[in-house]
Amino acid sequence: MKIAFIGLGIMGTPMALHLVNAGHQLFVNTLPPVPEAITATSATVCATAKAAAEQAEVVIVMVPDTPDVEAVLFGKGGVAEALPGASRKIVVDMSSISPMATKAFARRINELGADYVDAPVSGGEVGAKAASLTIMCGAEPAVFEKVKPLFEKMGKNITLVGGNGDGQTCKVANQIIVALNIAAVGEALLFASRAGADPAKVRQALMGGFASSRILEVHGERMIKRTFAPGFRIKLHQKDLNLAMQGAREMGLALPQTAGAAQLMQACAGNGMADLDHSALVRALELMGHHEVAKA
């Protein structure tokens, strides 16, 4: 297929490479510089999102936040300018953004004669590189089936959750669970370390019990080895938790544990750690406890 891929960051680059390696023809647009891994392929670099979309059957967007998606789709030189009068294209947003904004974006894209899929992902940089992402989709079933083969090149667990916006709602739910698990693992390892136990051995023991989880496996190791280079930045997880809290307010829900995790991430950001991996949430707990899980 001819695919426009817009947004070649930590996640977007390996996702785009999987599509190129599968034989698809890519037209890419991103903030400079274009990654060398992309320029070394057959992908065509385009100056604008519109230029990429004009040449494609499917347009994939992978950018950080709701305003970024809006700018890519509807700003000057955006995707929307390539839709009127063209054969029916499919716009796929794989970013993690507001479910309510997604529904509005989908309506606007539909009015321009194109289909819309919201398909946020989970799995981080590791999952993007391994093509093992979880992909949560909101779309009409027939449209979903058209793009599912593309998703299968980027992920393993691919689910049509419902209509437009439902994929993003699922992603917000995912981010609540991930944040709370990171906080739980951080508290557990901090407790163990402060009590004098070897946190690495504690983690090893817990991996064989009911407390075992992917977060304990991957992020627990990061906390112990102090490897906080970003796979998924704190500031991006902050954004997702803000979406959760905003939605909770609109629906009259209380999410006290989510609010607590959001405050821990805010404490990290306030101490200059917004660009660290979200496993660095443990640093907020360490600062409050005057103790580190482990030494670098």
Q: Which residues are catalytic?
A: 171
| Identity of the residue numbered 209 | G
Tell me which long-range contacts 238-243 makes (C-beta under 8 A, separation of at least 24). 238/262, 238/265, 238/266, 238/269, 238/274, 239/64, 239/65, 239/96, 240/96, 240/171, 240/172, 240/175, 240/179, 241/175, 241/176, 241/179, 241/265, 243/97, 243/98, 243/99, 243/172, 243/175
Judge whether 28 and 38 are in contact, CB under 8 Å.
yes
| Identity of the residue numbered 142 | A
* Rg for the chain, CA atoms, rounded: 20
For the chain, report the end-to-end CA distance as a whole number of angstroms: 47
Angle at 263 between CA 180 and CA 171, to 5 degrees: 45
Q: Which residues of 143-167 are buried (b: 16+ CB within 10 A; e: fewer)?
A: bbebbbebbebbbeebbbbeebbbb
**What is the 3-state composition of the chain as percent helix, strand, coil, each rounded to the nearest 5?**
55, 15, 30
**SS3 (DSSP) at 3:** strand
H-helix or E-strand spanning residue 216: helix 214-225
Separation between Cα atoms, residue 23 and residue 18, nearest integer Å? 9
